[in-house]
Amino acid sequence: MAFCGLPAVCLSLITIISGCHGNAIPRITFPLDSPGRVVSIFSPPDVYNATTLLLSKDEETLFVGARNTLLSLRVNEWGGLILNRTLDWSPTEKDLSDCSMKGKEKTDCPNFVRVLQVLNSTHMYACGTFAFSPRCTYINSQQFSLVTGGKPEEGRGRCPYNPYQKNTAITVGGELYTGTVADYRGNRPVISRHLSDGGHVDLKLDDTLGWLDEPTFISSASIPSEEKVYFFFSEIGREYDFIDKFTVSRIAQVCTSDNGGQRTLQRRWTTFTKAQLLCQASGELPYNVLQDMTTLQPAGGATEGDTLFYGIFSSQWSVNAGRSAVCVFSLRDIKEVFAGSYKFLNKDTLKWTTRVQEKITNPGECGLHNASDNVLRFVKENFLADKSVLPVNQKLTMVSSDHHYSNIAAQRVQTDNDKEYTVLYLLTETGFLHKAVLLEEGVHIIEEIQVLTRPQLVKNLLLSISKGVVLVGSAEGVVSVPVSNCSYYSSCAECVLARDPFCGWDPSRRVCAVISSIEGSFLQDVDGGLVCGECEECRAPVITPRSRSGSGTGSPKSPAPPGELVSVSLNEVVHLQCPAVSHLAQRHWERQNSQISLKIYMQHEDGSLSFLATPSTLGGYLCKAEENGFTQTLIAFEVRQKSSPTLQPVTPSRPQVTQSSETRQAPTTKWVTMLQDREETPKPKAKELQPTMSVRETQAVTANRNVSENKQDRLKVGVAGGEHQLLAKTPSYLQELVVVSVLLALCISALLTIALFNVRQRCRSRTAPHSPGSQRAGAASPQEREALRGNSPSGGKRNGHANNTAKSPNTLSNGTLNGSNGHLPNTPI
């Protein structure tokens, strides 16, 4: 394994970011009840939790295990499900009462059928949770009735107690092999064999430490030629010394011929071994949690070693949160790992180490039940393979960062040229079924179909190859989805671009059909999807639009239409929608004799185009899609201006005047002039006014002519009844100018007066004689000096006037003279 064998600090130091894988995107999406992809839903009003599915050997009948019910359904050629019989298998009132007394919710106490297997040609075997007290029963397959006359068998070790716990079961030679929990609390996991026959005894795992560690059972498979049964599950990997519990995915094997030891391992498995399934790319963290596993039998002529196991894995690491990976393992690689060396568990230190002493026997080899006690003790201590099973070609089959897959099914499809393709059916937790084909360059998801309305915790996915349907069991009912939908593709280009190995273009009938129904040659390119190498549309493209519902809206045989007419008004925002025929196609817009400039047009993520309607943006538009080197026209538009009786188009050279209906036919446009009269100001010269226009016309003219001068002097003239009326006048600022000038003159005069007064006082103080103890004649009082400095006398001021009534009328207040007429006083120097 690629993990370092260091302490738990090793995991915290891992900073490798997941590498870039080809993230497959579904080409087409079909919502629930879409006419482009019809599915059948069997959901009777009194049937719930139809999560356990079983097909008869001839695949004509589908048996369903639901809540308190067993169903028998007939499957027709088109995937339709028809009810044959219904069996009621409900707990008694006492069973329900005992379940409630145990503290369980009433919704969890019914009987949820979790095991439904065919025993032989006449009988089936079913087990259910039965109010947290598992029970099992036999069913007559031909009459589809419960076998009476005996007490129902106890289901401990065959079926889980809790309906939410996962389990797995398979029958081989009339014997039941199960992986589940064997106690009420779910703490005793066990892999066991029941209904043993032919000299066999029922077996289970030994209680040896480390055989199973908190497992979650996923599925099981039987390889008849190997005489082995394989179990797939996830558990805690104690061989890694991390602080946190590290989950690993496992494959375990037991031999169908195992009969337990004579003294050691009596009624216990002597052939149980397990190994790790490593779904990991080079240099990345592993996808270590197994979600589902399916078996793909080898093709005709191949050996059993070519059997493949396709599994869905998720990750417990935050760097891979929300991602799913698909890995494929070969039976040949699994057998090689089980034939190698094994780890040894030191019971004193509880540490796993690789055994270095001589290998006594090969653990997991069939026939060990007759071995000696020394050999069985070696097997009992050595059951974990030293190496991990790596995926085929040591790489991931596919990775999805947008979808969390929960179930998987696989089949091989052979085309007319004897080439085989593997098709995977992947069920997402959100209720979508993905159909994907494996190619040399990667995975191509042909389509996704919504089959469930809400996420489900317990689901079952089953494939009927003879009927050509995928069956999905859920809490909502049973959904039947045909594996192909070739008639949806209405042209040769669409049929080839789909790259569906089921579908081919029939040139004689000019339809896309299932290749098994086509007589003669057909056109198909699953590997490349190259239209130009197959179809004539590459040389003569036509418009093949489709609506959002998924059905075709145009015939590929008809010529291209002139375009859908879109009537708009000038300066109106125009939105043109383009249909999406494929998520893999790149949509773009084109104009005839013009280009789509990013300064004018805006193309959105949904493929629509938005722009402002102007004379230059009117005309024809084409939406085209380019996919895999082929370009096709999806839709055409013709954008024209609305014909309005009150609005004429505006051109930059000749602006039009908006007129009423009575004056629209006037040959000339009236112009109005106006004189501005202001008191004691010269009369300005009259200006010629612009004609009145609508707001849109004014904006257009302004934008085209770049008129920016004298916007304040522009006058608007309204037209009503043929007479123009004045709407605005040019403002005048003459009075404001006079007031400002007078104030400025007063301020300058005040400053000059103060300066002259100070000079006069300074001159008089130098020439006048001084009398001790007396004040000189004409000298200013302290109050006057304070007033000249701009300060208030001791008495203060009220509302800008002095409080001293004996003050001179020429006293300054706040730096200005308070004279009677506001002029400067006559003060001699």
> Does residue 18 register a pLDDT over 50?
no
Residue 364 inside a domain? The answer is: no
Count CB neighbours of 159 within 10 A. Answer: 26
Q: Are 628 and 537 in contact (CB under 8 A)?
A: no
Residue 120, C-beta contacts closer than 8 angstroms, at least 6 positions apart: 174
Q: Tell me the pLDDT tens digit for each residue of 780-792.
A: 444 444 443 444 4
Same domain, 568 and 617: yes
Q: Are 665 and 651 in contact (CB under 8 A)?
A: no
Residue 517 inside a domain? The answer is: yes
Q: What band does 610 get if pLDDT is binned at 50, 70 and 90?
A: very high
Residue 786 inside a domain? The answer is: no
Measured distance CA(520)–CA(513) in Å, rounded = 12
> Does residue 282 register a pLDDT over 90?
no
Measured distance CA(254)–CA(274) in Å, rounded = 9
Q: What is the pLDDT of residue 735?
A: 77
Same domain, 569 and 637: yes
Q: Tell me the pLDDT tens digit for each residue of 293-329.
A: 999 999 877 888 899 999 999 999 888 888 999 999 9
Boundary (domain end) residue, out of 610, 641, 672: 641
Find the length of the chain: 829
Q: What band does 359 get if pLDDT is binned at 50, 70 and 90?
A: confident
Count up the domains in the chain and report the number.
2
Q: What is the pLDDT of residue 150?
A: 62
Residue 264 inside a domain? The answer is: no
Same domain, 584 and 637: yes
> Does residue 657 register a pLDDT over 60?
no
Of 93-102, 307-316, 365-374, 532-541, give the lowest mean pLDDT range: 532-541
The 10 Å CB-count burial string (b at 16+, else e) for 233-262 is bbbebbbbebeeebbbbbbbbbbbebbbbe
> Does residue 571 register a pLDDT over 50?
yes
> Does residue 667 register a pLDDT over 70?
no
Q: Tell me the pLDDT tens digit for each residue of 108-129.
A: 999 999 999 999 999 999 999 9
Q: Tell me the pLDDT tens digit for each residue of 32-51.
A: 888 889 899 999 888 999 99
Residue 395, C-beta contacts closer than 8 angstroms, at least 6 positions apart: 281, 282
Q: What is the pLDDT of residue 118?
A: 95
Residue 228 inside a domain? The answer is: no
What would the DSSP string read from start to end of 351-367? EEEE--S---S-TT-TT
Percentage with pLDDT > 90 across the chain? 51
Q: What is the pLDDT of residue 320?
A: 84
Token pair of 675 as six digits: 């004189």
Phi, psi dihedrals of residue 558, rounded to the nearest 5°: -85, 150
- Supply the DSSP symbol for 691: P
Instruction: Tell me which residue has tokens 């057998």.
Output: 335
Q: Tell me the pLDDT tens digit for each residue of 751-772.
A: 998 988 888 777 665 544 444 4
Give me the long-range contacts of 731-736 (CB less than 8 A, separation at least 24). Answer: 732/676, 732/678, 732/681, 734/678, 734/679, 734/680, 734/681, 735/679
Q: What is the pLDDT of residue 350?
A: 76
Most trustworthy range by pLDDT among 25-34, 342-351, 739-748: 25-34
Q: Tell me the pLDDT tens digit for each residue of 375-420.
A: 999 999 889 999 999 999 889 999 998 899 999 999 999 887 778 9
Burial of 634 (0-12, 13-18, 19+ CB in 10 A): buried
Three-state secondary-structure class, residue 225: helix
Q: What is the pLDDT of residue 337?
A: 96
- Supply the DSSP symbol for 581: S
Instruction: Tell me which residue has tokens 């102007």.
Output: 614
What would the DSSP string read from start to end of 93-111? HHHHHHHHHTT--GGG-S-
Of 93-97, 388-392, 521-525, 719-723, give the lowest mean pLDDT range: 719-723
Give Cα separations from 558 to 548, 551, 553, 570, 695 (angstroms): 21, 17, 12, 34, 45
Average pLDDT, the chain: 79
Q: What is the pLDDT of residue 816?
A: 38
Helix boundaries (H) for 237-330 = none
Measured distance CA(495)–CA(485) in Å, rounded = 10
Q: Are 472 and 456 in contact (CB under 8 A)?
A: no
> Does residue 12 register a pLDDT over 50?
no
Q: What band does 544 get if pLDDT is binned at 50, 70 and 90?
A: low
> Does residue 84 register a pLDDT over 90?
yes
> Does residue 684 register a pLDDT over 80?
no
Q: What is the CA radius of gyration of the chain?
A: 47
What would the DSSP string read from start to end of 650-673? --SSSPPPP--TTTTT-SS----E
Give Cα separations from 189 to 183, 184, 186, 617 (angstroms): 8, 11, 7, 72
Q: Tell me the pLDDT tens digit for each residue of 128-170.
A: 999 999 999 999 998 999 987 667 789 999 999 999 999 999 9
Here the CATH number for the domain that contains residue 629 is: 2.60.40.10
What's the domain range around 511?
A: 484-538
Measured distance CA(484)–CA(500) in Å, rounded = 8
Q: What is the pLDDT of residue 356?
A: 67
Measured distance CA(521)–CA(507) in Å, rounded = 8
Q: Are 33 and 550 in contact (CB under 8 A)?
A: no
Closest CA to 335 of 223, 238, 175, 172: 223
Q: What is the pLDDT of residue 700?
A: 40
CA angle, 735 then 740 then 746, to 5°: 130
Token pair of 318 as six digits: 């935050």
Measured distance CA(264)–CA(730) in Å, rounded = 115
End-to-end CA distance of the chain: 114
Most trustworthy range by pLDDT among 456-460, 742-746, 759-763: 742-746
Measured distance CA(73)–CA(47) in Å, rounded = 13
Bridge-based pairing state of the strands 168-172 and 175-181: antiparallel
Closest CA to 701 of 652, 745, 660: 652
Same domain, 576 and 624: yes
Boundary (domain end) residue, out of 617, 641, 665: 641
Boundary (domain end) residue, out of 596, 617, 641: 641
Residue 552, C-beta contacts closer than 8 angstroms, at least 6 positions apart: 490, 544, 545, 546
Q: What band does 793 get if pLDDT is binned at 50, 70 and 90?
A: very low
Q: What is the pLDDT of residue 119?
A: 94
Residue 520 inside a domain? The answer is: yes
Q: Are 469 and 75 in contact (CB under 8 A)?
A: yes
Q: What is the pLDDT of residue 738?
A: 80
CA angle, 541 then 544 then 549, to 5°: 165
> Does residue 479 register a pLDDT over 90?
yes
> Does residue 450 register a pLDDT over 80?
yes
What would the DSSP string read from start to end of 462-496? EEETTTTEEEEEETTEEEEEES--GGG--SHHHHH
Q: What is the pLDDT of residue 80?
A: 87
Same domain, 571 and 637: yes
Measured distance CA(470)–CA(732) in Å, rounded = 87
Here the CATH number for the domain that contains residue 504 is: 3.30.1680.10
Token pair of 169 as six digits: 């079961």
Measured distance CA(339)–CA(716) in Å, rounded = 98
Same domain, 524 and 576: no
Q: Taking residues 431-444, what's their average pLDDT?
A: 94
> Does residue 586 register a pLDDT over 80?
yes
Residue 635 inside a domain? The answer is: yes
Measured distance CA(183)–CA(137) in Å, rounded = 20
Residue 525 inside a domain? The answer is: yes
Give Cα separations from 703 to 107, 598, 600, 614, 710 (angstroms): 71, 19, 15, 12, 16
